[in-house]
Structure 1
């Protein structure tokens, strides 16, 4: 297959970039490793800060697609030459393109790395990803199938944690915890909810409104504390021991369920396929250098990155970056086409003086 641009990843960023490039007249193909397009939108129930349906947003994005998206594709190799890129998948199919856009997204932190939190040990300790699945199924129950009365949400699991090699902030855990707490309260009005946090980082627009709403209207309790360990009672309730950093003393809390708000981790599934890609990995493991790059500086570059593969982002931030990068790809492709036409013209002129 010959295209102007191959996009790796059919999440929000890949879909947005593909739609824009196609509308600008370019031939586009998206390669996706999962069975269906959509990325993390497929596992999310509602999106912060306005509680929009993740499935509804995805369906809107897919409705604008009229170019090929190939799913269940595992890329075996990527090579590069003066004409662009050659990709081969596990089936031996080849994809040639003038430009390559990486939009591979992120992966959730593996909470089993924090053994002291009890994930994978105690049945009633789950992750925020698993809670989203419960939301989609409209069923919030503990391991015994009972509706919980007390739930604790633990912030910053796998973020700002030097012990697990993730010193960066995932940026979206705090607002995700607030969003999920509100959703829980709406589904189970009598539920008592406790959010244990190191400090709240709510930098997005309307995030503070959500925080205020969670306290004033939903009575969510926020505890500034650092969790030290979890234990299980005979009835499978979970005992949390933590340091109350405001009071400066140890404290204890018992909950029917514990939700670990896991951070965003780099997805390295395409590393070691092309040295030029590997060289773009920053000190935090994400692609890019985090600097403001002027489009003019990269007009000769045919390798691009967009979305949360360049760092933790919300859906809006991912699609905004994808739009900006799509226009940079467009500029490169137009310059490439102009150069090609000029070369052809010069060749004819030389042959026929």
Structure 2
């Protein structure tokens, strides 16, 4: 009987893993369809702003596909490693902390322009398209794209990014990407550039590149995107946020900067990023436990038990006489704070 129970648990885990794999594959398929749509839109774009947004969205889409594919491969490897293992000893199972919601907001990246750059030649100032990527496991989020020039002293993002399934050991990689928007080549469409390539280089090579562009195959054409669209985002800076980074107020984090003054995408960063990172454990907002418990009371030397309906939430055990009292929004009969040293008789 015990063997059948263990086998049933294993089948249940395998079924859950299969459902998760199916969900991940559906996400991959969705991102591929989105990527195809972005590619078609990009092939018709003629305005600089349209191209910058489309190339950015294409980059985010590919990053998500890569993250989902990696997670799917790891999941398949775990299923393969668990095949034939029926040993389920619950005494050896370690307790795990609940998941949490992580929110990142109010991102500000200060710039350090030279006085000669900041106060002069503003009408001829180079402009840069900037956005951030946040990556945690298979979850990838991005901010809006902002345009920065030498009149701007801080790069600010108003987006609020929320990760719903973060463990206590979470690591969120923050990447800042930059693209210089100056230059006429950024407004060229693929078809126009294909003609240029066809006439400016050898006839055979030009025809080959032209045929690739006409196929509108995202997998192949992405190789040419920096040349075809004249817009390419480069990794400007990055950092990693963990639970230690969480704070009630703003906190400054060090940035690791890529490139130098010779790089076309380079901006004079101070090397810091300010943001608000907050964490909310699921047990603080959701019911971690709900059910009937018996409470022991001592009245005039006699031990008396009473049955209470208890809900564990936010580090407190709220006790009611019945579940209907919760629906009626009545105050709990008893509230017991839960901490490491308290003892209760239930």
* TM-score of the pair, normalised by structure 2: 0.21
Higher helix share: 2
Pick 1 or 2: higher relative contact order, CA cutoff 8 A, min separation 6: 1
